[in-house]
Amino acid sequence: MTSPVYSRERVAELLAVAPERDLVELADACLADGAEFAVLTAPEIGSIAAQVREPIAHDRFFLGAVLACRAEVLLGGTRGWAMRMGDNRRATLAAAVCAAEVEAERAQRDRVLHLCARVENDQRAAERSEWAQLAPTIVQFEELT
């Protein structure tokens, strides 16, 4: 089975919403081989400004502050970084370990990428489900010619 191909940014995006249980299990597997490991930035919680784009005029504006947690690690000489919404330090640290595993193309890389693919598929399914619920409320207008 081949692994999906993702950019570093897309991996970070998908790990940011992956279930904590899966992240921690994978991070433990990544660390099990005894590779050099260091926490460069311990998980720290802060707030970031959430910027959005208004859908009609496409003007950007700041919506407000969002709670986020970030961490950075060094695994086998390769840096891994993660940021997740909320205050879950454990999941954020695990996501950083998984990001380093992918970046260094280590043994658990394929498992991490398959988790990313599963998260991506779950997101698509949730979006399809949401649109299916909204479909009956869509108003269709007839064009007069």
Distance CA 49, CA 104 (A): 31
The pLDDT value recorded for residue 1 is 60
Distance CA 95, CA 83 (A): 8
pLDDT digits 0-9 by tens, 54-88: 988 999 999 999 999 999 999 999 999 999 999 99
pTM, entire model: 0.84
| Residue 84: Cβ-neighbour burial (10 angstroms; 0-12, 13-18, 19+) | buried
Please state the domain extents for the chain: 8-118
